[in-house]
Amino acid sequence: MCIDLHTHSNVSDGTEPPAVVVRRAAEAGLTSVALTDHDSTAGWEEAAREASSLGIDFVPGTEVTCASEDGISVHLLSYLHDPEAPELRAEIDRSRAARLTRARRMVDRLGEDFPITWPDVEAQVNADATVGRPHIADALVAAGVCRDRTEAFATILTTGSKYYVPHYAPNPALAVSLVRRAGGVPVFAHPLASKRGRTVGLEVFEDMVDAGLAGVEVYHRDNGPEDRQWLLEFARTHGLIVTGSSDYHGAGKPNRLGENTTEPQALEAIRAQARSPR
């Protein structure tokens, strides 16, 4: 079995429709794939239909955007939760709205120095998608300011840039508890991805465990070798599930489907902990 539990479609910041992501997963030899778009479940139905037609196992998920008290970004993968659970849905909707407002403010700042407007960003966003910095990066690429998303994030869109604007996101421990109350299974995504910026300390990890954290995404290209060893030990100490994933974004990132995978028993453990009607 070959299992990839972290992918994105154009419902958030991937470049391919949900059905195409599933099709690519099948072509890559995956037997199970999760769609985990940022703060959205809008791609589940399309992905599930395609998976059924291709005979590939589909795991519905979401990547919930969180932030620690000192403003460090944390991403939480939620698997198999009830998308209609009111508390989790309200928090995600609040975060989505804040991301949209943040994006507009960033574009206003960028427009003072670069040939970019809000309609330029809208042209990069799929209908009803969660708007984020990757769409601003795509607009910068389309305007000829940057070669690709990677260059945009490494220069203009870094968190230390004068164009960066923070946005509301729930505390990680709160998000974990809301996922549990929605019947889902929460897994900490790329916990030590220092290439992306600052990462949280041990206290946040332990707060998330206390709130009901189920697992940690250890095998991810942005976790270094020493980080993986630390995460494996942390998972053993706290009885957490260990996952591995590609974090596939289509053409939006160099990540390839199946470049990191999850063991079958880990997926079985995730399913065993799910309590939603799904």
127-147 tens-digit pLDDT: 778 788 999 999 999 999 999
Digit-coded pLDDT (tens) for 80-134? 999 999 999 999 999 999 989 999 999 999 999 999 999 999 999 887 787 889 9
Does 131 reside within a domain?
no
Is residue 33 one of the residues assigned to a domain? Answer: yes
CATH of the domain at 243: 3.20.20.140
Domain containing 240 equals 3-94+167-273
Q: Per-residue pLDDT averaged across 199-215, rounded?
A: 97
pLDDT digits (tens, 9 = 90+) for 217-270: 999 999 999 999 999 999 999 999 999 999 999 998 999 999 999 999 999 999
Q: Is the pLDDT of residue 148 over 80?
A: yes
**Is residue 143 situated within a structural domain?**
no
Determine, yes or no, domain membership for 240: yes
Distance of alpha carbon 140 from alpha carbon 121, whole angstroms: 9
**For position 278, what pLDDT does the model report?**
61
* Average per-residue pLDDT for the chain: 95
Task: Give yes or no for residue 10 having a pLDDT over 90.
Answer: yes
* Residue 12 forms part of a structural domain: yes
Number of folded domains that form the chain: 1
Has residue 60 been placed in a domain?
yes
Q: Report the alpha-carbon distance of residue 72 to residue 11 in Å, rounded.
A: 24
Q: How many CB atoms lie within 10 A of CB 81?
A: 27
Structure tokens at 56: 């590939």
Within a domain: 141? no
Query: What are the tens digits of pLDDT across the range 31-60?
Result: 999 999 999 999 999 999 999 999 999 999
Q: Left (φ > 0), alpha (ψ -120 to 50) or beta: where does 72 sit?
A: beta
